[in-house]
Amino acid sequence: MLRFLASRLLRALLTIGMVVTFAFVVLRLSGDPAQIIMGSEAPPEAVAAFRASWGLDQPLWVQYLRYFLAILEGDLGRSMRDGRPALDLVVERIPATLALTLPALLIKLGLGIPAGVTAALHRNSAIDRAVMLLAVAGFTMPSFVLGLLLVLVFAVQLGWLPSGGQEGWRHAILPVVTLGIGGAAALARFTRSAMLEVLGQPYIRTASAKGVPWRAVVSRHALPNAAIPTVTIIGFMVGSLIAGAVVVESVFSWPGVGRLLVVAVANRDLAVVQAILLLVAATMVTANVLVDLLYGALDPRLRAAPKGVR
Amino acid sequence: MPEAPPSPIMLAPPRARRQGLPPLVLFAVGWLGLMLGVALLANVVSPYAYTALDLRNRLSPPIGFGGTTAHWLGTDELGRDVLSRLIHSIRMSLLIAFGATLIGAVVGTTLGLLAAQFRGLVEQAVLALVDFSASLPFLILALAVLAFFGNSLTLFVCLLGLHAWERYARIARGLAISAGAQGYAAAVRQLGASAWRVQLRHVLPNIASTLIVSMTLAFPEIILLESGLSFLGLGVQPPATSLGSMVGYGREYLSRAPWILLSPAAVIVLTTLSVSALGDWLRDRLDPSLD
């Protein structure tokens, strides 16, 4: 178990290293940030001074090494726009984003899993068809379409809720519902197919054949086994808590990490984009490691043979 | 499905119904046929040029809501015909989605087969790349790359092509490894076929149905990604138009002229729904082992 943990952590670190490298390569090789920030009209001395003060006059590998070392010390650079530390800029936006994504996660879990399980247990019934139809509809509708439809109905037509901004909890309702519905639909679909897979297994037939009540078969035998694949997608949802609302935040002008990313990308604010990329990757990788550990807790077979995980 | 024997030959699952297509699948086929027809004949069927202005009829509502037959789906803020723009947007979005799906399938399958063929270091490198793509939501990655490399259409298609490549790579690698251990691959190898001949002429056709089903899963996701990025203003750039960018521009007129964004939004939803329904149906038919 310890060896498994160590190899998993090593791979996680390697992945984060790759993300840092990727961010560096893409962002630095795509153009000259000094020209873009200062504009093409700027006097050459000013551009040169700017480049020197940001270390942009050094060879690329020096910039890369410096960047890597700085990250190890927790320094993600400063925003080229207002000179504040990039990490601070990002971190102060996190609560606003979590205020949307955490309640949305609760909706996803509270709606998606029961719906999927019910649909699977009543396969091919009217309930199953209704759930699946809703799930496919929610799953194929892009979040910006759903969000704008909700705005059209509840803000423009009925005037019940504000269409955007962040002044109070009422402003959060539409974005949270938008995020929650899409995720719940995906989760319901996934839970249903995981449940169906498990319900067709021989051990379920054995359990019913030996006289275990159906209720107990479902709760003791089917649910824990169906949880194993479902945990993967939940892990992904937890991993995207920070950056899972880019589009929805834009629809509702919500000042979270997603808005910051879109604005930073438009302004070519390298440090901020890199900080967000890194933070998102770290969250995602952590969630993946937790999922792998949870697999071990849920499925004794994987504890014995950690190589099979994946 | 679990009773199906683990055979490489595709067997119809026991529950597959033989009597005709389900209504949803029929609808899906019809809708996709319509979309393909519209995309192919865009210049013939669109009543106006998609950039043509009609300044006297700005923000004119669709027919049935006070509009005239001059503009069936109404006009936008510059008096451009929404129907004509919709038709050209469908063509653009489908073109991008087809191109990107193909790129993803080719890149992913190639890397997967490479990993299966050479194992060792190549395989580890491919798996590390797979880990890397799994560590970042694709939208975030795409946002960064797009905004920093600018907005050429070629780059945009290639970027979207990278979506889901790791899925094909993983599937192709797994299937190719297990296929390589089977009699037929060993037999052609014994006959002196080169490694690539074995992979491309013998293994690939045998795993193709699974890969095709994966493509039907990736296609609607790519449409959604394209429209999302274009909605944010970072995808297809004006004067070109796509379904997502139509919704993005229409958003400004949400309260005054909701028809500008409702028609492209409906097309996006119906198209992704149709491809998903068709994909689900195909998967049940061809390959019950995919989830």
- Closest CB to B269: pick one of A141, A246, A251: A141
Does a structural domain hold residue B114?
A: yes
Say how many domains are in chain B.
1
The residue with tokens 């997608």 is A233
Does a structural domain hold residue B48?
A: no
Best of B17, B138, B143 to substitute, by most chain A Cβ atoms within 10 angstroms, is: B143
Tell me the chain B residues in contact with residue A242 when contact means C-beta distances shorter than 8 Å.
Answer: none
Asked if the Cβ–Cβ distance from A22 to B143 is below 8 Å, we say no
In angstroms, rounded to a whole number, what is the distance separating the alpha carbons of residues A257 and A94? 6
In angstroms, rounded to a whole number, what is the distance separating the alpha carbons of residues B27 and B2? 29
Mean pLDDT on A9-34:
75
To the nearest whole Å, the CA of A276 is away from the closest chain B CA by 9
Note the residue count of chain B. 291
| Residue A265 at interface with chain B, using a CB cutoff of 8 Å | yes
- Closest CB to B273: pick one of A14, A136, A288: A136
The confidence band for B80, taking pLDDT boundaries of 50, 70 and 90, is confident
CATH number of the domain bearing residue B227 = 1.10.3720.10
The confidence band for B103, taking pLDDT boundaries of 50, 70 and 90, is very high
Which chain A residue's Cα is nearest to B289?
A197
Does a structural domain hold residue B106?
A: yes
Instruction: Extract the tokens encoding A279.
Output: 């933070």
∠ Cα A274 A277 A282 (to 5°): 120
To the nearest whole Å, the CA of A160 is away from the closest chain B CA by 14
Does a structural domain hold residue B58?
A: no
Q: Read out DSSP for A165-232?
A: --SSHHHHHHHHHHHHHHHHHHHHHHHHHHHHHHHTSHHHHHHHHTT--HHHIIIIIIHHHHHHHHHH
pLDDT digits (tens, 9 = 90+) for B194-240: 777 777 777 787 777 778 878 888 888 888 888 888 888 877 877 88
Q: Architecture of A94-255 per CATH?
A: Orthogonal Bundle (1.10)
The confidence band for B12, taking pLDDT boundaries of 50, 70 and 90, is very low
Q: Read out DSSP for A101-149?
A: HHHHHHHIIIIIHHHHHHHHHTTTSHHHHHHHHHHHHHHHS-HHHHHHH
Q: What's the whole-number average pLDDT of chain A?
A: 80
Asked if the Cβ–Cβ distance from B148 to A268 is below 8 Å, we say yes
Per-residue CA distances from B27 to B54, B219, B268, B271 (Å): 35, 18, 15, 11
Per-residue CA distances from B21 to A144, B30, B277 (Å): 32, 12, 12
User: Which segments of chain A belong to CATH 1.10.3720.10?
Assistant: 94-255
Check: CB of residue A71 under 8 Å from CB of residue A20: yes
Does a structural domain hold residue B28?
A: no
In angstroms, rounded to a whole number, what is the distance separating the alpha carbons of residues B235 and B251? 16
| Residue A145 at interface with chain B, using a CB cutoff of 8 Å | yes
In angstroms, rounded to a whole number, what is the distance separating the alpha carbons of residues B165 and B168? 5
The confidence band for A106, taking pLDDT boundaries of 50, 70 and 90, is very high
Tell me the chain A residues in contact with residue B291 when contact means C-beta distances shorter than 8 Å.
Answer: 190, 193-194, 197, 229
Domain range holding B140?
86-286
User: For position A306, what pLDDT does the model report?
Assistant: 45
pLDDT digits (tens, 9 = 90+) for B157-168: 888 888 888 888
- Residue A212 has φ and ψ, to the nearest 5°, of -70, 135
The confidence band for A153, taking pLDDT boundaries of 50, 70 and 90, is confident
pLDDT at B15 over 60: no
pLDDT digits (tens, 9 = 90+) for B237-257: 778 888 888 888 888 888 778
Best of B1, B140, B232 to substitute, by most chain A Cβ atoms within 10 angstroms, is: B140
Tell me the chain B residues in contact with residue A22 when contact means C-beta distances shorter than 8 Å.
Answer: 132
Which chain A residue's Cα is nearest to B291?
A193
pLDDT digits (tens, 9 = 90+) for B51-63: 777 777 777 777 7
| Residue A142 at interface with chain B, using a CB cutoff of 8 Å | yes
Mean pLDDT on A86-110:
89
Asked if the Cβ–Cβ distance from B139 to A246 is below 8 Å, we say yes
- Residues 74..133 of B with a Cβ closer than 8 Å to A: which? 128, 131-132
pLDDT at B10 over 50: no
